[in-house]
Amino acid sequence: MSGKHGKQKKWSAESVQSVLAHIQSFPKVDSHYCRKESSREFLDQSLSISEMYRLYVERCKRDGNADIVSSDKYNRIFTENFNLSFFRPKKDRCDECVAFENIVAPNEDQKRTYAKHLKSEEKAREMKTEAKEKSKRDREFGAMCFDMQQLLPCPKSNSSTFYYKRKLYVHNLTMYDLGTAEVRCFMWPEFEARRGASEVATCLAKFIEEKSKGGCRDLSLFSDNCPGQNRNRFVAFMFCETNKRVQLDKLSLTFLQKGHTENENDSVHSVIEKSTKHAVIYSPEQWYAAVRTARKSKAPYYVEEMTHSQFVDYKTMSQQVKNFNVDDEGDKVKWSNVREFTVYGNDAQALYITYKYGGTQKRVDLQRRQRSSGGNSHATVTEMSELLYVTSQCGISKLKKEDLISLCQAGLVPVAYHSFYKSLPLCSADNEGSDED
């Protein structure tokens, strides 16, 4: 009997070793999907300890191994011998709410601080609601929220063997038009491009240009706080560069309160997950088709299939703008505290930022000269419009490709898809970096 009651069973060294080997047999999620500062490794999002234990028992029975440890023992081996977790899509976690809930008897200062936090969340939500309602009645005003869906595995099957193999991932950046309820999904496989700031910025630029062609003059966007994808100078630069072309009166991006970033895209992702829960998928094209047909009651989701040649390297382009760091008052720009940034059609060379929802805007002059020995100037946004920076195909790791081909050789992937997996490009050493900056 296990636990505190009775004598605990003594497991053999061989049985413990078999559990260690089983846990080690699961491939880790590619490092560029995880945070740089963490030493923890991550397993596929479809796994859990209970699912891993089920697969362990299944393997033991298949191999004729009768010395099967208990689920409690498997759990202890997992937690005590590995620094592993299960990969989940990056969602903000509200530290302030969790910390306050853990205070047994909060004092008045703690109550006031928490009330201020909730008021900030309420203001952000209010701004989004007001934008949504205005976009329904004013054709010259648009509002949209966007979010990256969790990784979509390919191939996808119920075969237990798939759990032990690295898979190709498909990315899906969804954009929900708050005025029309139309959903646009920008999708691409990981060998074409990552899912960082340049990729997000490229898709946003496409959306902005299309809205401007439809008569929109004022566009408000909303997103979470992910610094590697949304809240950064690269997306801000794209705003300036794009609005120089489309010349909207106002273009803004508001970052919802950390830990309270729920939005309409969550329901979109839920619909896709439910409709594909039992689907067998072998290629990115099948994922595109599955997303297009996921919504049954309303207009289908529009899918735009992206390739590497469509993505603009806004990171490289933005390097030619020297000032993202100091506002017109001489204060350093605190990017981690930015709640909203805005560009105006009548001031194309400037970015306006706020540190408080609905607060005073601070102007950042992109042409502001920085101190240098030579006093040299730098390229203007207008001059850079003539330059073209396109990202290159990034490929996949050698180990991942070997796993995918092994699934083909085992007959678990239909012959019709073998050539696709065999022709997947490999990534270079320089292209194995993180999406986070």
pLDDT at site 10: 78
Write out pLDDT tens, residues 2-27. Answer: 444 455 677 888 899 999 999 998 88
3-state secondary structure the chain: CCCCCCCCCCCCHHHHHHHHHHHHCCCECCHHHCCCCCCCEEECCCCCHHHHHHHHHHHHHHHCCCCCCCHHHHHHHHHHHCCEEECCCCCCCCHHHHHHHCCCCCCHHHHHHHHHHHHHHHHHHHHHHHHHHHHHHCCCEEEEEEEECCCEEECECCCHHHHHCCCEEEEEEEEEECCCCCEEEEEEECCCCCCCHHHHHHHHHHHHHHHHHCCCCEEEEEECCCCCCCCCHHHHHHHHHHHHHHCCCEEEEEECCCCCCCCHHHHHHHHHHHHCCCCCECCHHHHHHHHHCCCCCCCCCEEEECCHHHCECHHHHHCCCCCCCECCCCCECCHHHCCEEEEECCEEEEEEEECCCCCCCEEEECCCCCCCCCCCCCCCHHHHCCCCCECCCCCECHHHHHHHHHHHHCCCCCHHHHHHHHCCCECCHHHCCCCCC
CB 140 within 8 A of CB 215: yes
- Here the tokens at position 49 are 């300890």
Write out pLDDT tens, residues 75-88. Answer: 999 999 998 887 66
Residue 386 has pLDDT above 60, yes or no: no
Residue 98 has pLDDT above 90, yes or no: no
Residue 434 has pLDDT above 50, yes or no: no
Residue 421 burial (C-beta neighbours within 10 Å; 0-12, 13-18, 19+): buried
Write out pLDDT tens, residues 223-242. Answer: 998 888 999 999 999 999 99
Backbone angles phi, psi at 49, to 5 degrees: -65, -40
The whole-chain average pLDDT of the chain stands at 87
d(C-alpha 240, C-alpha 56), whole Å: 54
One-letter identity of residue 225? N
Write out pLDDT tens, residues 33-87. Answer: 554 545 678 888 778 899 899 999 989 998 888 889 999 999 999 999 998 887 6
CB 320 within 8 A of CB 378: yes
Share of the chain above pLDDT 90, in %: 64
CB 236 within 8 A of CB 251: no
d(C-alpha 285, C-alpha 274), whole Å: 19
Q: Under 8 Å CB-to-CB from 308, ≥6 apart: which residues?
A: 188, 192, 193, 390, 391, 392, 393, 394
One-letter identity of residue 63? D
Backbone angles phi, psi at 16, to 5 degrees: -65, -40
Residue 381 has pLDDT above 60, yes or no: no
Q: Higher model confidence: residue 179 or residue 8?
A: 179
Kindly report whether the global pTM for this prediction surpasses the value 0.85. no
